Amino acid sequence: MSYIEKTLSTDETVETYFKLHWVAWLPFAGWLVLALPTFGLTLLVAGYEYLRLKCIEQAVTNRRVVFKKGIISRHSEEMRLDSVETVEIRQSIWGRILGFATIEVTGRGVSDVQLKWMDQPLEVKRSIEDALQSR
């Protein structure tokens, strides 16, 4: 069971899980390729990179936006939907060409949640805004 599912409150449901774009997996692939010339020495780094990426969870529920990362330790950022002020897409030239972006959800005060390496950024933004509208 995922962290997000474990932390759902009463009557809270997951609207959408967000997945990472394939570009986020390039460092893992690079370390894997380097394992050949280094006689497998970089396999530990590749293993760590794989676990790091697999342990990232990003979703919007009917009450909040959630970002969680961490293999052994855990770091989570959550923002209640009633606190959200803006949903912004930050996309580089390569992001436009390849279809990935960072989604920044800004709330009251100085709080924000950044969802990095998002696949289908317009769909992610739309999902968050749909959850805001249905509130």
Residue 109 is predicted with a pLDDT of 82
* Separation of alpha carbons 73 and 38, rounded Å: 29
pLDDT at position 135 over 80 = no
Residue 110 is predicted with a pLDDT of 79
pLDDT at position 3 over 90 = yes
Architecture category of domain 14-133 in CATH: Roll (2.30)
Q: Which residues contact 66 (CB under 8 A, 6 or more apart)?
A: 4, 7, 57, 58, 59, 60, 76, 77, 78
Q: Over the chain, what is the mean pLDDT?
A: 95
pLDDT at position 39 over 90 = no
For range 5-26, the mean pLDDT: 96
* Separation of alpha carbons 39 and 34, rounded Å: 9
Residue 21: C-alpha distances to residues 41, 115, 123, 126, 132 (Å): 27, 11, 13, 17, 24
Domain locations in the chain as residue ranges? 14-133
| pLDDT tens-place string over residues 73-94 | 999 999 999 999 999 999 999 9
pTM: 0.89
**If pLDDT is split at 50, 70 and 90, which confidence band does 45 have?**
very high
pLDDT at position 6 over 90 = yes
